Every structure is written in C-alpha cells, then in structure tokens.
Chain A
Amino acid sequence: MAAVDPTSVEGGRRAARTGQASDVPAWLQGLPVSWWVVGVILLFMPVVANDFILFQIFGWGFILGMIALSLMFLGGYGGMVSLAQMSIAALAGYMIAILGSSGVQTISLNWPWWLAIPVAIFIAAAFATMIGALAVRTEGIYTIMITLAIAAAFFYFTRQNYTIFNGYTGFANVVPPDLFGINWRQSVPFYYLSLACAVIAYCVVVYVSRSPFGLALQGVRDNPRRMAALGFNVFAHRVFAYTFAGAIAAVAGILMAWQNAQISPGTAGLPAVIDILVIAVVGGMKRPIGPFIGALIYVVLRTFAPDILLTLGLSGDRFKLLIGLGFLAIVYWSPDGVLGLWEHWRARRAKAGDPLTRGGDAQ
C-alpha cells in the first residue's frame, strides 16, 4: 500500500498541465495548424493585397460564401436543397434600403441602423420560415423545383412592384452607417467587416450542427420516420432549419447591398440564384468550409475569366461557359465538390504511403 499509485501521479500531472494552460481555452488548443495559418493570412491580408482584391474578391467572396453556407446548412445537415436563399438575402438587402436610408427618399423610412438591421434580418428570417413551411411539405427534387419557383416569383414581384420595391430600378445609394467615424465601404474596413461576419457565421453553423438541434436535424435528414417515432417534431425541425439558414443569408444580404451600394431585382435574378447552388456544390456540401472555397473559386473565375479567355484568343463574354463546364465536370465526376476531390486525393496518398495497406491494395 505504500507504493505510489502510478495512475494518480499521471492524473495529477495532467491536472497540472491543464492548470498551467488555463489562460488558453482547451478548444483553442485543439485547432489544427492549418487553421492558424489561414487565420493569420486572412488577418494580415490588407498588408499585401490591394483595394480591388480586398473589396471585390474577398469581400464579395465572403458574402457569396455566407449565402452558400446557408444553403449548405440546409442541404448538408437538413437534406433540403433550397434555391431561394439568394431571394432571402436580397429581401434583407431590400429591407435595409427601405427601413434605413437610400437614394429613393419617397420610400426609405430612414430608421437608425440599430433598429433597421435587426428588423431587416427578422423580416428576412420570417420570409425564410414561410418558404420553409411551404417547401418542407415536399421532398428531394420537389423541394428544388418549388424553391426555384418561389425565387422566380420573388424576382418578378420585385420587378413589377413599385410601391415597396421600386420596380425595375430598385434602390441606389444604400450605404452602411458611419459607425465610429469609419467609412465602412472603404476596402479595408469592409474587408474586416465581411471577414468578421463570415467567421461568425461559420462558427455559428459549426456550433449549431453539434447542438442537440443540429444533431436532431441530421437525424431527420437520415431517417425522418424513425425520428418521428422517437418523438421529434420533424416538421418543426425542418422549418426552423430554414429560419436559421435564412438569418445567415439575411446578414449576407445586408452586406451585399452595402457592397454594391444598391439593390435591384437583378440581384436575385435566376442566374444569381443558380450561381449560389453552383458555389455550394463546387465547394462541397458536406462541410461548412466548402461554400467559402467554392465562393472564392467562383469570384476569382468570374473576375479573371475574361482575361484568361482573351489571352486564349476567345471572346471574353464566354466566362459563363467556362463556369458551366467546370460545374458540369465537378458534379459529373465528384458529387462532393472540390472538398470531395481533395479528400479522395488525401485518402489515396495515405493509402500509398502505408506499406501494409498498399500490399492489400495491389491484390
């Protein structure tokens, strides 16, 4: 009995170690190195990149990435592919123009920003809930078709309605408020603003996907009947997923209106609606980082494809063809998008590097 119990010493050491590191939270220690690298690069990007890259490439990429992220949440965790996310974002943009200030003085209500922003997000989330209540009555392909029809109806309605949405022209001069004396439309502040929103949205999605609600939603995706038998309200889980995704899309929509300084029906036109699906699918619908990768690829292609095509001797107008062919190739060969390709490649390399499984593979 006099012998020291080795486990207790080990346990004491472990306690001491965690006690030493208590100033750094445990979840931060668990982050892989690549995250730190990406985080540092993104934080110090303004040092090297010029205004155009910060504002047009990264700002736009983060915004599109957030809208595609909301689609990824619905599609990846809920199994519901909704094409109406761009319409929800555009509604939030419209609301910020109508409730806040814009170039159209007859319609805009000029509310202060701290009131206009939450109300705009709330209205867009309510709209998303309504879409969800309609769309969850259907499954799979039907959901895609119905949300596509809703998105088209939204586009035509905003184009024809002049009393609220100001018809074809929409709203110009929609600018962010001058908070803390900073012009948030300048490239560096806007870069950090959109980066912060994107990071928060990403973290919230990761958190929610591991919360009881997110786990139940994934259960509903895999087997709705069993979840219903276990006592979960399948309908409510699905509709709330739409509400949550709608709130994320709404934040992105407000940023989008500020970035373009205008909002018009074309913002949520059918090409834009399809683009969001393209981004989410190209990036990969399995993990929340996918949409941001897809958005970055899309924005870079969209911005530089005309130059690339011109150097190849083709007309610069053909970038849609390039994007369409790329999209087609990815969905044809890798349904999980670029992330799927990357994981496939890593799995193959891991296999090749391991002598034990390599022998088994050769058979």
Chain B
Amino acid sequence: MNGFVQRNPIWTVIIAVLVAAFVWAVVAPWPPGMEAVVGRKQIFLNALFNGITLGALYFLVASGFTLIFGLMKNVNLAHGSLYLLGGYIGYEFAEATGSWLGAFVVSFVIVALLGIVLQYVVFRRMEGEDLRQTLVTIGISIVLADLMLWRWGSHSYQILSPDFLSGPTTLPLIAGVRGDGEIVYLRFPAVRIAILVASIVLGALMWLALNRTRIGMLIRAGVDDRDMLAASGVRIQYVFVLVFAFGAGLAGMAGIVGGTFQSVAAGEDMRFLLASLVVVIVGGMGSIFGAALGALLIGLAEQLGSVYAPTYSVVLTFLIMALVLAFRPQGLLGR
C-alpha cells in the first residue's frame, strides 16, 4: 500500500479524489443543479444498491464456479443449470411448507448431491481433458434445461420472501430533500439487504475456511500443485468431491436468492452461467476475492448502465471484460 503511494503519487491522488467524490455523492444531499444534470439522487442510490445486491447474487453463483475451476481445472458449463434447478427446488419446497429458510437447506443438499454425482460420473473419468469436459457439461446443461422445461414449463415463478423480511427498510442515507426542507431517507427492500449481508458473511466464512482450517489448507495446496498433494498422501479425490459438492450447493442456494430477487424461469440458467463466466474472467480464475470484485463490478455496471444508458448496458459489461482481457488477461486478481 505504502509502496504504491510512493511509486504512483499521481494515481494515488486521482484515486483518492474519485473515492472522495463517490462517498460525497452517496452521503451528501445533491444540489439542485446537479440533480438537473444527472437526475434525482433517489434514482442513483437505488441503482447503486441494486447493483451491489445483484453483485452479491453474482458472487454466490460465481464463487462456486471459480472454486471448482481453481482446484480441479474443470469448467462446469452446467453451473447455470444447477443454479436454476436450485431455484425450482426452493420454490417447490417454499410453496409446500412455507419455509423460506428451510428451502435453502433443501436446495443446497439436493444440488450438492447432484454435484457429487457429476463429479463421480463425469469429471473423474475425464481428468485433464478440458475440451471433452466442457462439451459433456454443455450436453448436460442442454438435457437438464429441457427436463426442467418439461417439469416446470416456461412460466416464471416468484419465491416469496418471509414475513420478517418483506417490505422496505429505511437506510440512514439521504435520498433527497423535499421542498419544505424535510429530509427523505432511502428506503430499500429488506430482503435484499439481508441477502447482501448474508453473502458478505458467507464470503468472509469462505475466506476463513480457506485460510484458517485444515481442509482449506488442503484445498489451497491442491490449487497450487495437486499432483504433489496427492503424492504426499492426501486423498485428493475426497477433496475434489467436497469442493464440487460445496460449489454446486452454493449455486443451488443462489437459485433461491435469484428467485426471491427476480424470478425463476427457463432461460435463467444461461443468463447466470454467462454472468459467472464474465465475473470470473474479470476477477481472475480461481480467486474468491477476484469473484467478489468481479461480481461487484459487473452488478454495478449492469444496474447503473440500465439506468443511465439503457441501450448499452450489456455492452458496458462486455466492454469491462474486453478491457480486462486486453490489459490483464489473467483477470484483475488472477495469478
């Protein structure tokens, strides 16, 4: 950090000014002149928070993807299907029992079991054959997508959030000032804030598990050199199965989050597979922090883009990816 300040004084000043301007834009009420040019602060804040919470959702999906890739070097293009399946299962369970939190457990377990089957049947048999694994997972995603379309049709399902999280909550952020001088605070759906907090906690737990526990140590060693790890007597196949199950289960849970945020519908699998791809390309393959940073960037770009440049919001996402590829092909935090 200090080294960076000393080496790049100009960049440090520019970054500091940008951060200060951003903090000011979030905290302070906007003067009328600025509102006339950029639009109302309420809209900006809403887009900002939508972007951050969408980033949290992307992080949930992409962290499993990047973990699996980092350890086993296999690209699971059926990851989006696991997400969608988790969403449907969560919907069915929540409809049947009315328990939103219980749906997370059920979804996690079922999709994790499917992940274990995939690992045993598919990936273990073609270790090191990248292209074949990719093609097989594409095939699996086609089959799963059609099976789900068969079972659940092309309607979109909304998973209702529980009572204690329904409705908006008031955040201590000034959204605007009324004509009579009264300050209006930002109101935002409580369930989204809860999801945001939950995914930050989950990210922190994953970091702790990776860096402070024995199994985390094994996983990190496997990422660095799995042959050496296997040679030193660790049953690496068990580690693989564990990581795959966890990554798949995470995708399943993310399906419920996505179903509560937006909806569960056919076609969402591709959308979220794509989002995870872009997120891990931007953030760097195999890095949890990279996935978090990439997810935040892409979520913000999508939401702010859809408010301020509706036609080109998708292109904005793509532009970020192209820039990262052009200047840092291994991803922002990749090695």
Contacts and interface: CB of A to CB of B under 8 A. Distances in A.
Interface stretch (A47-55, A90-98, A316-324): A316-324
Given A320-B146, A331-B132, A149 B311 contact: no
A149 B135 contact: no
B277 A145 contact: yes
Interface stretch (A26-34, A134-142, A240-248): A134-142
B274 A149 contact: yes
Contacts of A144: 75, 134
B321 A323 contact: no
Nearest to A285: B131
A350 interface: no
Contacts of B146: 318, 320-321, 324
A202 to B, nearest CB: 24
Contact of B136 (A145, A150, A318, A332): A332
Q: How many residues of B sit at the interface, in one of the four size bands?
A: 35 or more
B274 to A, nearest CB: 5
Contacts of B130: 140-141
B322 interface: yes
Contact of A324 (B139, B311, B325, B326): B139
Choose among A134, A325, A328 the residue with the greatest number of B CB atoms under 10 Å from its CB: A328
Contacts of A320: 142, 145-146, 149
A339 B105 CA distance: 46
A321 B278 CA distance: 27
Interface string B255-288: 0000000000000001000100110010001000
A301 interface: no
A153 B301 CA distance: 14
A321 B150 contact: yes
B311 A146 contact: no
A332 B133 CA distance: 9
A277 B325 contact: no
A156 interface: yes
A149 B281 contact: yes
A270 B314 CA distance: 15
A138 B322 CA distance: 12
A149 B318 contact: yes
A281 B143 contact: no
B147 to A, nearest CB: 7
B14 to A, nearest CB: 27
A221 to B, nearest CB: 13
A81 B132 CA distance: 12
Contact of B322 (A134, A141, A274, A324): A134
Given A140-B130, A152-B274, A318-B150, A331 B139 contact: yes
B295 to A, nearest CB: 15
Contacts of B329: 137-138
B318 A141 contact: no
Q: How many residues of A sit at the interface, in one of the four size bands?
A: 35 or more
A274 B81 CA distance: 15
A134 B326 contact: yes
Contact of B138 (A138, A161, A274, A317): A274
A259 B43 CA distance: 46
B321 A149 contact: yes
A153 B318 contact: yes
Contacts of B317: 153
Interface in B77-105: none
A128 interface: no
Contacts of B310: 160
A235 to B, nearest CB: 13
Contacts of B142: 274, 278, 320, 323-324, 327-328
A8 B139 CA distance: 62
B206 interface: no
A148 interface: yes
A81 B143 contact: no
Contacts of B139: 324-325, 327-328, 331-332
Contact of A81 (B131, B270, B285, B314): B131
Contacts of A137: 325-326, 329
A274 B137 CA distance: 12
Contacts of B147: 321
A36 interface: no
A345 interface: no
11 contacts: A134-B326, A137-B325, A140-B130, A144-B75, A149-B274, A156-B314, A157-B312, A274-B138, A325-B139, A331-B135, A335-B131
Given A274-B142, A321-B143, 13 more contacts: A137-B325, A137-B326, A141-B75, A141-B134, A144-B75, A144-B134, A152-B270, A160-B310, A270-B274, A318-B146, A323-B142, A324-B143, A327-B139
Interface of B: 75, 129-132, 134-136, 138-140, 142-143, 145-147, 149-150, 270, 274, 277-278, 281, 285, 310-315, 317-318, 321-322, 325-326, 329
4 A-B pairs with the lowest CB-CB distances in the bound complex, closest first: A324-B142, A328-B139, A153-B318, A156-B314
